[in-house]
Amino acid sequence: MRRGRIWRSLGALAFWLALWAALALIMDLRGRSLLMPPPGEVAARLLELAGTGEFWRYTLSSIGRVTLGLAIAAALGVGAAALCVRFPAADALLAPAMTVVKSTPVASFAILVLIWLPRDLVPVCISALMVLPVVWANVCAGIRGTDRALLELAQVCSLGRWRVLRRIYLPSVLPGFAAACRSAIGFGWKAGIAAEVLTVPRESMGRMIYESRYYLQTTDLFAWTLAVILLSVAIEKLLLGALGRLSRGRGGVPGA
Amino acid sequence: MLEFRDVSVSPGGQRVLERVSFSLPPGGRLAVMGPSGCGKTTLLRAAAGLLKPDRGEILRPEGGAAVVFQEPRLLPWLTAEENVNLVLSDTAATLPEARAALAALGLSGAEGKYPAELSGGMQRRVAIARALVMRRELLILDEPFAALDGELKERVAELITGQGCSVLLATHEEDEAAALGCAVLRYNGKTFV
């Protein structure tokens, strides 16, 4: 079963790479090789870049910014969700704000935030803003979905607040939080890199993408984009793996 | 002791208990009997402090009550022993006590299992073990013998009576009330008397 899935994934990957190679060949035959470098050339360039200290410095800077943004979003999202569930007035106040944040384009936010913050902090802020509504909505749903019967049990057993939080609320919220992370990591990463492209911080992957486009270095543009994609997948796997381990320790919370 | 003084309860706005009065002295045992839907569970929930009376007064023991609900209400992400230990210190120090309580109910070997891995009867026994380790003055039991066979019913009844606490039991079965040596509070079609 699992082997079949791996083969299907590899087959799909091979198909898309072949399509990319075919398109690159057509462009090359028409004398427009600049528009679409072949996958082999992009992979070679990525490997070449990966051998430089500059690549890792820029990559780590971008990872740091986006991770900080995600952490801020997670903390604020969980806090805001707890407030909204506890106090209806907070929910009435925050729900429309979350809708506005969710509907505002990354570019608008990036340009606005650039006016208020140093450019190095803009991607942090954008990642956080884009991910915040997702975390907030999922954690709200998780808290509201906590089994009332278990809360009654906690009440008659006189369990303390900390025990109720740790033993009932936390495991109830974890699947929603994991689901939020699943969709938010990729989203936050893409938003953060988009913000870097728009605001061009000194050391960032976004800056390299911007400069590659500016100087028409399409192979570099593709290589940096590929690096962004690979890192997005790797970060998502790492984080979800950690959440999965956490939930396995609690009897396998579904969804994590 | 537990005392209901002219208590009426209307969960969700619908009057279910009508002017119920009774007194359960320390160590006393009382079975609430009547057909399904007559308000036995409502009476027990009011006794446990989960429902407020809209008339009358309920006097409860100071430490509150231990409750075995109609459904086991086990935390699905905790093992059987962790579910019992939850109401103790919830640390490793009291795990032996939780294990002993499970063993007394014939659950040796099931301590590390999650609720989803246990049968309905085993889950119920875990819930009973959890209530017993609390050692409260009042034990409230909502049809605790459901899904238990004859021998287990006897063992559970022995453990409950052995605690010496007051017992408030909801049941359909006369023999279950008798097994615990309970006086009976019966539904007369309008209220419990």
CA distance A155 to chain B (A): 8
DSSP assigned state of B50: S
Our CA-based measurement puts residue B78 at a distance from the nearest CA of chain A, in whole angstroms, of: 6
Q: By the CB < 8 Å criterion, does B52 face chain A?
A: no
d(CA B169, CA B2) in angstroms, rounded, equals: 13
Q: How far is CA B1 from the centre of its chain?
A: 15
Chain A residues with CB under 8 Å of B87 CB are 157, 159
Please tell me the predicted confidence (pLDDT) of residue A254: 39
Is B1-64+136-193 a CATH 3.90.550.10 domain?
A: no
Indicate if the pLDDT at residue A107 is higher than 80.
yes
Predicted pLDDT of residue A251 = 46
Helix or strand or coil: residue B58? strand
In this prediction, residue A110 has a pLDDT band, given cuts at 50, 70 and 90, of confident
- The domain ranges of chain B are 1-64+136-193, 75-135
Pairing mode, if any, of strands B166-171 and B138-142?
A: parallel
Residues 6+ apart with CB under 8 A from A247: A171, A174, A175, A178, A253, A256, B77
Q: A252 in contact with B at a CB cutoff of 8 Å?
A: yes
What pLDDT does A187 receive?
84
Residue of A152, A155, A156, A166 best to disrupt the B interface, most CBs of B under 10 A: A156
Please report the pLDDT score of residue A252 as a whole number: 44
Tokens of B111: 């301590």
Q: What is the distance, to the nearest Å, from the Cα of residue A108 to the centroid of all Cα atoms in its chain?
A: 19
What average pLDDT does range A66-74 have in this prediction?
Answer: 92
% of chain A with per-residue pLDDT over 70: 95
Going by pLDDT thresholds of 50, 70 and 90, the confidence category of residue A246 is low
Residues in B closer than 8 angstroms to A150, CB to CB, are 73, 75
- Does any CB of chain B come closer than 8 Å to the CB of residue A160? no
> What does the mean pLDDT of chain A come to?
88
User: Phi-psi category of B27—alpha, beta or left, where left has phi over 0 and alpha has psi -120 to 50?
Assistant: left
Q: At what angle do helices A39-50 and A53-86 cross, to 10 degrees?
A: 90
Residue A93 CA: distances (Å) to CA of A138, A227, B15: 18, 40, 37
Cα distances (angstroms) measured from residue A72 to each of A77, A98, A125, A130: 8, 15, 9, 11
Q: Which of A149, A156, A251 lies closest to B78 in CB terms?
A: A251
Nearest CA distance, A143 vs chain B (angstrom): 15
Tell me how far apart the alpha carbons of residues B59 and B43 are, in angstroms, rounded to a whole number: 13
More confident residue, A251 or A101: A101
96-155 of A, contacting B, C-beta below 8 A:
149-150, 152-153, 155
Cβ of residue B75 closer than 8 Å to a chain A Cβ = yes
Is A153 in contact with B64 (Cβ distance < 8 A)?
A: no
Average pLDDT on A31-45 reads: 89
- pLDDT confidence of residue A135: 93
Higher-confidence position of A88 and A177: A88
Residues written for chain B: 193
Q: How many CB pairs under 8 A join A and B?
A: 49
Per-residue pLDDT at A242: 78
Q: Does A250 touch chain B (CB under 8 A)?
A: yes
Q: Would you state the pLDDT for residue A64?
A: 92
Average pLDDT rounded to a whole number, residues A224-228: 92
Q: What are the tens digits of pLDDT across the range A169-223?
A: 999 998 888 888 878 888 888 899 999 999 898 889 999 999 998 888 999 999 9
Q: Which residues contact B61 (CB under 8 A, 6 or more apart)?
A: B1, B2, B26, B136, B137, B138, B166
Q: Which residue of A has its CA nearest to B71?
A: A149
Q: How far apart are CA A244 and CA A35, in angstroms?
A: 41
Look at chain A and count its residues.
256
- Extended beta strands in chain B, E state: 2-9, 17-24, 29-33, 55-59, 65-68, 138-142, 166-171, 183-186
A161–B contact, CB cutoff 8 A: no
Residue B153, pLDDT above cutoff 50: yes
Q: Is B185 exposed, middle or buried (0-12, 13-18, 19+ CB in 10 A)?
A: buried
Determine whether the interchain pair B71/A149 forms a contact, defined as Cβ–Cβ distance below 8 Å. Answer: yes
Task: Report helix, strand or coil for A26.
Answer: helix
In the DSSP assignment, the letter for residue B11 is: G
Q: Is B95 on the interface with A (CB under 8 A)?
A: no
pLDDT of residue A243: 74
pLDDT at A247: 62
Of A32 and A154, the one with more pLDDT:
A154
Stretch A90-105: mean pLDDT, rounded? 92
Nearest-angstrom CA–CA distance, A37 and B92: 61
Distances (CA, A) of A179 to A19, A21, A63, A190, B43: 32, 35, 21, 18, 41
Question: Over chain B, what is the mean pLDDT?
Answer: 91
ipTM: 0.90
Tens of pLDDT, residues B48-93: 999 999 999 999 988 889 999 999 999 999 999 999 999 998 889 9
pLDDT at A240 over 90: no
Contact A72, A58 (CB under 8 A): no
pLDDT at residue A256, rounded to an integer: 35
State the nearest Cα–Cα gap between B18 and chain A, in angstroms. 24
Report the residue of chain A nearest B67, measured CA to CA: A156
